[in-house]
Amino acid sequence: MKRLGLLDMLQLAAGFSMAGPMFFLGLSFLQAGEVVGGVGFLALGAFALYFPTYLVNRIGGPRTWIRRRFGRSERDDDPADTEPSSAFDRFRRR
């Protein structure tokens, strides 16, 4: 199993800092008998918990930015030598 790195811990901390108050509001709404508001805040908290991880995975994150920046200078610019980056590119090259 892969150990958590610093970036993973920062993503979790950002998610918990956004989701914690929403979970608290959701539980207090549920205790007060307002089911719709409580479930809504719990769902919003679950979304906020995983949003930073989704965002970093979507845009790539610092490791990917560094690889993109320095990886192109180390290898040749010949497109035949490069690996396709996505499943669609691999399908298109067949």
Residue 85 CA, chain-centre distance (Å), reads 19
Write out the residue range of the structural domain in which residue 46 sits. Answer: 6-72
Global model pTM greater than 0.75: no
Q: Given this model, what pLDDT does residue 46 score?
A: 92
Asked if residue 77 is part of any domain, the answer here is no
Residues above pLDDT 90, as percent of the chain: 31
Domain count, the chain: 1
Asked if residue 82 is part of any domain, the answer here is no
Asked if residue 79 is part of any domain, the answer here is no
Asked if residue 92 is part of any domain, the answer here is no
| Alpha helix segments (H runs only) across 1-94 | 6-31, 35-59, 61-74, 87-93
CA–CA gap between residue 61 and residue 53 (Å, rounded): 10
Asked if residue 11 is part of any domain, the answer here is yes
Q: Could you report the per-residue pLDDT of 17-56, keeping only the tens digit for each?
A: 989 999 999 999 999 999 999 999 999 999 988 887 788 7
Assigned token pair, 21: 């108050």
CA–CA gap between residue 77 and residue 41 (Å, rounded): 50
